[in-house]
Amino acid sequence: MQGKGDYLLVETSLPHNHVLYSYILSFGEHVEIIKPQEIREEMHNHLKKLQEKYNT
């Protein structure tokens, strides 16, 4: 882990399933996936589905 100002870089190994996305989402708006790009894109798709569900 490396902290810089208001940022903390974390490298971890998690299973590539719902556990991964639940963990990431637990940080709310305070997290950004830097890499791998595949996970970043999948998170984007998950968030689009959530947004569609809650747009009224």
Q: What is the pTM for the complete model shown?
A: 0.74
Q: What per-residue confidence (pLDDT) applies to 4? A: 57
Poorest-pLDDT segment among 7-11, 18-22, 29-33: 7-11
Residue range(s) defining the domain that contains residue 24 = 2-54
Q: Report, as an integer, the average pLDDT of 31-47.
A: 94
- Confidence check: pLDDT of 2 > 80: no
Tokens 């589905």 locate to: 49
**8 A C-beta contact, residue 28 and residue 21:** no
pLDDT averaged over every residue in the chain: 88
Q: How many domains does the chain divide into?
A: 1
**8 A C-beta contact, residue 8 and residue 1:** yes
